[in-house]
Amino acid sequence: MSIYDSLNPEQKEAVLHTEGPLLILAGAGSGKTRVLIHRIAWLMEQGISPWNIMAITFTNKAAGEMRQRVNNLVGQGADSVWVATFHSTCVRILRRYIGHLGFDTTFSIYDTDDQKTVMKDVCKRLNIDTKVYKERYLMSVISRAKDELVSPMEMAIAAGTDWQKKLLAEAYKEYQAQLRRNNALDFDDLIVKTVELFQNCPEILEAYQDRFRYMMVDEYQDTNTAQFKLISLLAGKYRNLCVVGDDDQSIYKFRGANIYNILNFEKVFPDARVIKLEQNYRSTRNILNTANEVIRNNCGRKEKRLWTENDEGNPIAFRLLPNAFEEAELIIGDISRHVRDRKADYQDHAILYRTNAQSRLFEEKLILAGIPYKLIGGVNFYARREIKDVLAYLKTIDNGRDEIAVRRVINVPKRGIGATTLNRVGDYAAAYGIGFYDALVRAEEIPNLGRSAGKIRPFTALIETMQDKLGHTPLVELTKELLEETGYIKELEAEGTDESKGRIENIDELISKIAAYEESAEEPTLSGFLEEVALVADIDSLEESSNYVILMTLHSAKGLEFPYIYMAGMEEGVFPSYMSLNGENPEEELEEERRLCYVGITRAKKELMLTAARQRMLRGQTMYNAVSRFIREIPDEYLERGNKTRSRSMEKPSNGAMQDAWIQSKESFRVKPYESQTLTVNKASGLEYAAGDRVRHIKFGDGTVLDITEGKKDYEVKVEFDTAGIKRLFASFAKLKKL
């Protein structure tokens, strides 16, 4: 019996179609990974060298799983197949050839904290008011530009005479200059610089095109414009490009994902073959029918309908609770009952919610019930202070030009080197056009340092000693010696607190990680280890064998599956979120929220419970929200509510009643004039501005008035601010000034 006989007809067709562009529309739970690994096996059976086969995924977890399954299926030769994430692929290419772009091959990879540190310095240099332009806002603007392959110069040209956009372009330019001085790249740069390398060096591009003659890209709906450009460049010569994805699961627009990459695939590749995988092997029929009924309300999608040969299963449970406390009690009680009745283990349950803030009540109830749980999306191991300190030392040893790393550890543990000294070193480095670390090495030459130069010398001597040992000292031994020489562990031991003991345990865990890397890597290097650490994602840390309830946002749940799923907070203004209902493109954003709901529903294998609360505390206010429209989109035949009648809160509201969370929460302010209020509001007889006028707010800056609504006690003003987005404000508090 052939290994391909176990595939269904559509899967088999996708496996055997190897030449030319191919789009596989793979619905949730339709066995797409199975198709990919069988496709690799088939290519090798046809005489294609594994060296010429490439498979790109989005997470290390997915790449590791695929690599293991290919090895199990194919056996000998499979190790030569290139299976990696986008970012690790680009890192491997750039480690060899980034010199063509003026960087050193020992470049650092900056995480979000590193980027924020750089951005703070940029704002200081350019005198940017961070109360008006938050660092994270500037970082997001730059990230979006990189996703679209827009350079600082192109952004500046597009800005024209708009001084605010010109300021953003200048911040982008200075940010990139700082990264280059530090010989560092951020995550977006890994893709952008690889595209730049291929465009500037056609001979390098052709070498990789010849290497990757058969390309497969998983989760194609999550690609951004830069990733699409990278893929199209690599596939440009042989055009044997197979992309696998599901437009109904495109939920990462906020990260730059461009759903039109998959929706318009046939326009870019007119000769593309399209194959739909609609048979689901994961869920019951009721779960799939529910998912189908919700997602069919979207307009921007390719038509498909999931089906299964699995049992019909239980109806979808919907519970409307008085408040969020009782919602949490109900869900935790249901989990306890399953485990007590030996119906399931803790690890078979996942609680999903729209925002991280919703996890608190569930955590409290789980702790009170003595139920083990894991919160996905909390503090990443590599983001903890002690781990970042040790890694910063290792980065400094590996890449002395990384100013962020050097500044982080030059006074850790304390060496008596103050901010004034570091500023003088930084000024000297800028004046002579050298790196910050190089300036430290020349500390004796820097004017006005005095005795501080003597405090700097032991630090640079330590780094130089460690650098000399690179290449012939195992990384574990190097790290232990570093910790010994710096006295980092001794200082933690001297604290003697539970927190310091925990930090020592974390460092021990890091050393274990280094040892595991040295054992598994063919040619272990410090650069290689730091690269591996930089590419780790939160979800990669999920240990499937551990017996605990999983708590996570709906975004984090993508790609996972559990027998029992609880989707909490199914209310208008919560899910779909208030921001999506009142954003710049509410129709597009609502469709993405619906795709997110579809993803949540299709995580469930056996049973799904949807819950909502009549009242919920959000942003310090008690909200009374209508039940989510996503619940109303599910036909009665698939829902079980505990009674036969449809509650009034389930009825679709009239135009007057269909109000989002914001409108409902402010109704009392408009129509209930309590006489004994401590806060008095003096409604103005009129406003100096009108819709369309430009105004200024003390916190949000400048913006344009979109709408003004007159209430009994005040005016509500809707303003689209240039940097803070759309805000709804009460006039008496906002104190807007007309420009």
Ramachandran region, residue 377 (left: φ > 0; alpha: ψ -120 to 50; beta: rest):
left
The one catalytic residue in 12, 32, 605, 641 is 32
Catalytic residue among 11, 33, 223, 308: 33
Residues in Cβ contact with 554 at an 8 Å cutoff, skipping those fewer than 6 apart: 251, 352, 353, 354, 567, 575, 596, 597, 599, 600
Active-site residue (options: 218, 247, 403, 531): 218
Rounded to whole angstroms, the Cα distance separating 537 from 531 reads 12
b/e sequence 647-682, b meaning 16+ C-beta within 10 Å = eeebeeeeeeeebbbbbbbbeeeeeeeeeeeeeeee
Q: How far apart are CA 609 and CA 626, in angstroms?
A: 18
SS3 174: helix
Assign 643 to helix, strand or coil.
Answer: coil
Q: Which of 694, 723, 697, 726 is nearest to 128 (CA)?
A: 723
State how far the Cα of 283 lies from the Cα of 308, in Å rounded to an integer.
8
Instruction: Give every CB contact of residue 462 below 8 A, 6+ residues apart in sequence.
Output: 482, 485, 486
Would you call 32 a catalytic residue per the annotation? yes
Catalytic annotation, pick one of 57, 176, 249, 396: 249
DSSP one-letter code for 418? -
469 secondary structure, DSSP code: H
Q: Tell me how far apart the alpha carbons of residues 80 and 76 are, in angstroms, rounded to a whole number.
A: 9
Coarse DSSP helix, strand, coil percentages of the chain, rounded to the nearest 5 percent:
50, 15, 30
Whether omega before 576 lies within 30 degrees of 0, making that bond cis, reads yes
DSSP 3-state assignment of 343?
A: coil
| Residue 219 annotated in active site | yes
3-state secondary structure of 651: coil
- Dihedral over alpha carbons 567, 572, 577, 580 (to 10 degrees): 140
C-alpha to C-alpha distances, 664 to 574, 656, 667, nearest whole angstrom: 13, 11, 5
* Tokens at 134, concatenated: 């938050």
Could you give the 3-state DSSP secondary structure of residue 436? helix
CA–CA gap between residue 648 and residue 646 (Å, rounded): 7
DSSP letter at 14 equals H
Contact in structure between 406 and 582 (CB atoms under 8 Å): no
Question: Which of 177, 322, 120, 251 is closest to 589 using CA atoms?
Answer: 251
Q: Which residue has 């781990």 as its token pair?
A: 387
Q: Of 135, 174, 219, 593, which is the active-site residue?
A: 219
Q: Which of 282, 603, 605, 629 is catalytic?
A: 603
Whole-number Å distance between alpha carbons of 416 and 449: 13
| Residue 170 DSSP SS3 | helix
Length of the chain in residues, anyone? Answer: 739
The answer to whether 439 and 426 have CB atoms below 8 angstroms apart is yes
What DSSP assignment string belongs to 265-314?
Answer: HHHHSTT-EEEEE-B-SSS-HHHHHHHHHHHTT-SSS-----B-SS---P
Catalytic residues: 32-33, 218-219, 249, 603
